[in-house]
Amino acid sequence: MVRLSWSGDREQQSSSKQEMPSSDLLHEAHENTRKINAALNVIESKPQDGTGRKKSLSIYTLEDGTKVSTKKRVVKSVPPVAKRLPTDEELFDADGLPNHEFLREHFRKEGRLSEEQAVRILEMATDILSREPNLLQVSAPITICGDLHGQYYDLLKLFEVGGDPKTTPYLFLGDYVDRGSFSFECLLYLYSLKINYPDHFWMLRGNHECKHLTSYFTFKTECLHKYNLRIYDLCCHSFNALPLAAVMNGQYFCVHGGISPELKTVEDVNRINRFREIPSRGLMCDLLWADPSETYDEDADDPSTLAYTPNIIRGCSFAFSYKASCEFLQRTGLLSIIRAHEAQDQGYRMYKNTKNLGFPSLLTLFSAPNYLDTYKNKAAVLKYSDNVMNIRQFNMSQHPYWLPNFMDVFTWSLPFVGEKVTEMLVSILNICTEEELEEETFVIREDLGATLKSKNTEQVVTVIPGSKKSKKKRSILDDDAKRRALRSKILAIAKVSRMYSVLREESDKVQYLKTMNSGVLPRGALSRGSEGLNEALSNFERARRADLENERLPPSLADVEKSREQYYRKKLEEFNEKEEK
């Protein structure tokens, strides 16, 4: 709104206005009204594309000048998302088994299932898994695979490298979910294969197949975003049915994590009650959480080395040494231990050979390439046939992009939009000084343009046709308390603008690291800014070290909430202290 600039304090301005003759006041009001209407007419009649024509909202011009239709796919090489739910006839064959080939392509297009279809597959898989022993006995030939972590498009590549699951036996070592954006697709596709080929498709439990970790990391959020709590609970119920270990070809002990001081013979595995949440200690915990020690190979010739030490990195279970592995293999008559659980730069790692057999005492497999879109590692699978080990590596496959924590674009962009809007508000308010904000502006209400419905709280003049009298409405600025309240609101807008700025900067960092943080990024990882981030993520080892915090057994959700509340309370206090200064 156009304002008149007056010098002097408010009392002088008010008295000057009151002393103005009514004809001068009326003239001023007419002049202000004319200017406002002229501005409104310009806004309404201004051509939006510079040619005098109305701008078409169905055509968008890119930065390079290319015009594209907003009604068609701009990047035609990206396949469209499957928009409809499949029918039961498409998803299940005549025998009631899931059509895994249809499901594979449906999930490739980011398709969804109905709730009842997902329930049906989960219940069928749980029933089959529940009838299997804790310790599987699997024969060669077979392909053994490590962690997947929700990387569905890399799982499809894995089957290209490892062989068609129709004819190729498979043993998966666990960790199908969490961290990646397609955990549900990985799980249900694997379950569909298990249902179709129960005698040559095997799945073990990993440490992430439990409620504790899936609630802390991404799988629960993914299930709630794509489906609902019922589906998540059924997934967790199916996790409890997964076997814990396998003996392959009577020679290799296959497990997700490692061995335990409580594991005297392989038959000890069958004595565990596996149909429960993973405990924080004991044999079941060790099978899924244990790691080889950091100095596994170096301490091989040191007789004073302890067989088991507390696993500091994981915060639970043990770190087992070369000595522990050799004692276990000698005691059980097995050749080697094959496990997963740890990311590897080349997708696998062979540890020091045993002295009596000259074969690697331990082998780690990891089948999620470019883990978290950050590690830049290769993935590997082990194909074992005719007493020959063949390790095949593969690289990452392109996959659809998801915002962190499955946010939609509106939630993601709110800090950006909010920051810009508040910046504009502050800029508008800063056009006028505090004294100018207290000045009155006079207009003729009846003559204002139809597009303007004035809600001005300042003093205005309303001219009644045929009358020379003017009526004055009370201004909000006539009241000192209200004037102070308005000033407080202006300052609050400025504060909100700064807060949105902080949110936007944090969103930038979260996007850069993507799922690596999983909501619990180690503090200090961002302290050096973008240069520090680039350096920290430049190679596998640095990325692994930055992510070690997320490899630990997480605290309970109650502890997490308490810690988060304390953290934000501290940040709020620091923010308020800066504002007061």
Q: What is the pLDDT of residues 212-252, one digit of tens each?
A: 999 999 999 999 999 999 999 999 999 999 999 999 999 99
Residue 41 — pLDDT band, cuts 50, 70, 90?
Answer: confident
Active site residue 106: no
Which residues contact residue 136 at a Cβ distance below 8 angstroms, ignoring those fewer than 6 apart? 171, 202, 204, 243, 245, 246, 247
Q: What is the pLDDT of residues 529-554, one digit of tens each?
A: 445 445 544 477 778 878 888 888 88
| Burial of residue 196, with CB atoms counted within 10 A of its CB: 0-12 exposed, 13-18 middle, 19 or more buried | middle
At the second CATH level, the architecture of 88-402 is 4-Layer Sandwich (3.60)
Inform me whether the pLDDT recorded for 54 exceeds 70: no
Q: What is the pLDDT of residues 398-408, one digit of tens each?
A: 999 998 889 88
- Of 541, 532, 437, nearest to 490 by C-alpha is 437
Inform me whether the pLDDT recorded for 14 exceeds 80: no
Lowest mean pLDDT among 25-39, 98-112, 119-133, 161-175: 25-39
Residue 439 — pLDDT band, cuts 50, 70, 90?
Answer: low
Residue-level pLDDT at 435: 62
Three-state SS for 381? strand
Mean pLDDT, to the nearest integer, of 191-195?
A: 99
226: tokens are 């794509």
| Rounded percentage of the chain residues whose pLDDT exceeds 70 | 73
Residue 126 — pLDDT band, cuts 50, 70, 90?
Answer: very high
Q: How far apart (Å, rounded) are the C-alpha atoms in residues 469 and 463?
A: 7
Report the mean per-residue pLDDT for the chain.
82
Residue 3 — pLDDT band, cuts 50, 70, 90?
Answer: very low
Residue 524 — pLDDT band, cuts 50, 70, 90?
Answer: very low
525: tokens are 């990882």
Inform me whether the pLDDT recorded for 9 exceeds 60: no
Q: Are 353 and 300 in contact (CB under 8 A)?
A: no
Compare 27 and 212 and report the one with higher pLDDT. Answer: 212
Residue 462 — pLDDT band, cuts 50, 70, 90?
Answer: very low
Residue 496 — pLDDT band, cuts 50, 70, 90?
Answer: low
Compare 322 and 534 and report the one with higher pLDDT. Answer: 322
* DSSP notation for 458-491: S--EEEPTT---EEEPPPGGGSHHHHHHHHHHHH
In the set 208, 212, 341, 399, the catalytic residue is 208
Residue 500 — pLDDT band, cuts 50, 70, 90?
Answer: low
Inform me whether the pLDDT recorded for 365 exceeds 90: yes
- Of 152, 87, 158, nearest to 402 by C-alpha is 152
Sheet of 245-248: strand order equals 135-138, 245-248, 252-255, 336-339, 362-365, 348-350
Q: Is the peptide bond before 80 cis (omega within 30 degrees of 0)?
A: no
Q: What is the pLDDT of residues 255-285, one digit of tens each?
A: 999 999 999 999 999 999 999 999 999 999 9
Taking the CA atoms of residue 401, residue 406, residue 410 and residue 411 in that order, the dihedral angle to the nearest 10 degrees is: -140
Lowest mean pLDDT among 45-54, 111-120, 410-419: 45-54
**Domain assignments of the chain as residue spans, ordered by start:** 88-402
Mean pLDDT, to the nearest integer, of 304-309?
A: 94
Three-state SS for 519? coil
Residue-level pLDDT at 503: 61
Lowest mean pLDDT among 57-71, 80-94, 253-267: 57-71
- Of 305, 298, 400, 291, nearest to 344 by C-alpha is 291
Inform me whether the pLDDT recorded for 522 exceeds 60: no
Rounded to the nearest 5°, which phi and psi values hold at 388?
-120, 130
Q: Are 341 and 364 in contact (CB under 8 A)?
A: yes
Inform me whether the pLDDT recorded for 464 exceeds 60: no
